[in-house]
Amino acid sequence: MLLIPLAMLGYWAYQHFLPPPAIADPVYVEMRLQIREGGRDVEAALFGRASDDIDCQLRLTRARDHLRTRCPQCRLQLAECKPALAPRYLPLFDERPGNLTYFSYRPSRRGERDVRMIFWGLTVPEANHLCDQMRNLLATLYAGPSNCIRPAS
């Protein structure tokens, strides 16, 4: 009976203490949603790098389940795995400033992945504030570094 808890502990340690895998040929998660908040519609796009199509589908399912249970004001517009992102979104993964504030999360554990999130329909100060809030929230859930990439001046 002791073998099962020890195996589970070993798997947890494997997922949480080993560095993230190098992803040579990523598959991208793309999710778009509309958030109705305070009489306003805010649009969000989330992009993530997965190691392969199976990893991508797993992460997409988890994200959809999370939205269904924790974001009743969110309406999913698009959720798909794709072999490539539109070229305009690739600079996000280099953390280059653009016209909008966006959230950047980089993995530091095996179970984490590279993620970027952009919001439309907010002023720059609102987007900066929302990004800072997300960064503080995710710091308690994930080990990897997160940043708010602010618009270029």
Per-residue pLDDT of the chain (153 residues; tens, 9 = 90+): 444 543 444 444 444 455 566 788 999 999 999 988 778 888 989 999 999 999 999 989 988 888 888 888 889 999 999 999 999 999 999 999 988 999 999 988 878 889 999 988 889 998 998 889 888 887 887 888 999 999 987
Q: What is residue 19's predicted lDDT score, i.e. its pLDDT?
A: 58
Q: What is residue 37's predicted lDDT score, i.e. its pLDDT?
A: 75
What b/e string do you get for 24-53 counting C-beta neighbours within 10 Å, with b at 16 or more?
eebbbbbbbbebeeeeeebebbbbbbbbee
Q: What is residue 7's predicted lDDT score, i.e. its pLDDT?
A: 43
Q: pTM of the full predicted structure?
A: 0.83
Q: What is residue 6's predicted lDDT score, i.e. its pLDDT?
A: 37
**Which residues have C-beta within 8 Å of that of residue 45, sequence separation ≥ 6?**
30, 31, 32, 89, 117, 118, 120
